[in-house]
Amino acid sequence: MPKKKGRADCAAEAMESYIVESGGGVSMVELERVAGEEIDTSGDLAWVVPNDSNLVLWAGMSEDFVAAIDALRERGNVEAGGANPLIYIIDGKSLNYPLARRPPASGYAVEHWLPVLFNPKAS
């Protein structure tokens, strides 16, 4: 029997379609809007870099939204890369953390924001 798709999987599918159809350059603000049609995206969680919990990629996320981002990444068809924070200001939302410019090898002592954009993975 095929596995039933959960809400996070449906949101991941919608986000992937949006990233591909838009040609990339998609911010977390845009992904919140797209995923918000499937799930509640607001919460107290943050998406951080695995080896530096003070390097924040996005915050204010629900468990469902974190699961959807994880599912999106596991699908393997998109990739995240660094972004100019002005894109987030234009999109109407940014994080109130110092901007990560040159993350130290030992990690940051306090939270810093590393803005990202999603693009379709090159074939």
Q: What is the pLDDT of residue 5?
A: 65
- Domain span at residue 68 reads 7-101+109-120
Report pTM: 0.90
Q: Count up the domains in the chain and report the number.
A: 1
Give 79-91 pLDDT, tens digit per residue: 999 999 999 999 9
Name residue 73's beta-bridge partners: none
Q: What is the pLDDT of residue 2?
A: 44
Give 29-81 pLDDT, tens digit per residue: 999 999 999 999 999 999 999 889 999 999 999 999 999 999 999 999 999 99
Would 2 be classed as within a structural domain?
no
Q: How far apart are CA 15 and CA 94, in angstroms?
A: 19
Would 70 be classed as within a structural domain?
yes
CB 26 within 8 A of CB 45: no
